[in-house]
Structure 1
């Protein structure tokens, strides 16, 4: 099963960030422009590097060992669902001013930053321009769209679908599907959606457009609901291998 690391190997934007970290250059604010299905995985991969004591994601320093299923004590996310409100932005800014818990720095994350209200965006101008010495901001965007006063304060990295979404070979036969379903239940949610994006691309290449459309619909639904990775994997199996016409099931879940 593919994961984001293999897709990032040829990404110029990711290479640019790694080069900056190797030189010890950490901008105060970073904007990541990428398909939404990649936001969770890209954030985790980037934060693992930035919060590592050696900026390499060593996996063994106190900060790297502090990661858990719930995230990291020095990673602050403004909103768990959608663009943050003004109050959420202010709370996040206040937390960013606190001393780091484990790492040498803290990261505050603004999801769906291109969909913030003007008031929310304006509430972040001061903290973005004058963050604490140990604080950094990550803005996650689906589209390269920010108010000019914020844009001028951030370093923007753009990850296009063409850079990251490569076709992925489909499981073949009962044995491979059983193995894939077992892995899909344990894989990171963002990595699983990335895998499905690649499968959809492969289906298009093979001329199976109707099946590709069903997978795209599943991705769309998974991004907006709390389906478990096991359920997403099961629905992908029904869509791809069984070609089961369960649009009505989609409607019921949605």
Structure 2
């Protein structure tokens, strides 16, 4: 099995969500504040200096996880020198490291990089990733059974920064859309353990949509997620 993974298809947010789930599997732990996890993500371009720095990180032994895990989000933003530098790492990857790349498609990267990766192609955006749905089911199920005090304790887990709060709201909205579809059209819904009725689901979806708009306008993520979780029915 190849030590590196390339995730293609879907949209950028969905690719990164899949990459972080894979990273969690390799780490055997969460990615947040994990000394064995590194994320490279840039709005414009990823430079060769960042990849050279990465070489030193992946050569280390894991601090506490099963492996050193690196996610290069939207790896197609790497400059050509950066891609060539990454290729040298992929040619002889350290045994205790895993590198996960995301990109719109394999043609956006050097063929020699692609050939050294296991490719995971996501379905079209209209098709739901079952792994993400199952994860969000567990989260929502826990939140619905939590007391107001327990919800407050969970706030930090989903609101350390704007990006994390956005991902939480987007993934919850994704799951609730699927739940609404199942409860409307499926007499035996997969997620029957969640006892929300259609009106409750619709209200929660509206709250999440408003939350996404507010987050994009730089509202404090912690306060927003706190108010959102308290509004969830028990």
Would you say same fold, with TM above 0.5? yes
Equivalent of residue 61 in structure 2, options 71, 74, 99:
99
**2: distance between equivalents of 1:156 and 1:226?**
37
* Equivalent residue number for residue 73 of structure 2: 111
Equivalent of residue 196 in structure 1, options 149, 165, 173:
173
Q: CA deviation at 1:104?
A: 4.0
**2: distance between equivalents of 1:120 and 1:68?**
24
Asked whether the equivalents of residues 109 and 138 of structure 1 are also in contact (C-alpha less than 8 Å), the reply is yes
User: Structure 1 residues 184 and 134 mapped into 2: Cα distance closer, same or farther (>3 Å)?
Assistant: closer
SS for the counterpart of 1:120 is helix
The TM-score normalised by the length of structure 1 is 0.54
SS for the counterpart of 2:60 is coil
Count of matched residue pairs: 195
User: Structure 1 residues 80 and 229 mapped into 2: Cα distance closer, same or farther (>3 Å)?
Assistant: farther
Q: Unaligned 5+ residue runs, structure 1? A: 1-24, 52-56, 58-63, 169-174, 207-211, 236-254
* Equivalent residue number for residue 129 of structure 1: 91
SS for the counterpart of 1:119 is helix
- Whether 1:163 aligns to 2:132 is no
* Equivalent residue number for residue 11 of structure 1: none
User: Structure 1 residues 69 and 137 mapped into 2: Cα distance closer, same or farther (>3 Å)?
Assistant: closer
Asked whether the equivalents of residues 32 and 159 of structure 1 are also in contact (C-alpha less than 8 Å), the reply is yes
**2: distance between equivalents of 1:96 and 1:30?**
15
- Whether 1:31 aligns to 2:43 is no
Q: Unaligned 5+ residue runs, structure 2? A: 137-143, 159-163, 185-197, 199-204, 229-234
Q: CA deviation at 1:123?
A: 2.0
**1: distance between equivalents of 2:222 and 2:66?**
33
User: Structure 1 residues 37 and 195 mapped into 2: Cα distance closer, same or farther (>3 Å)?
Assistant: farther
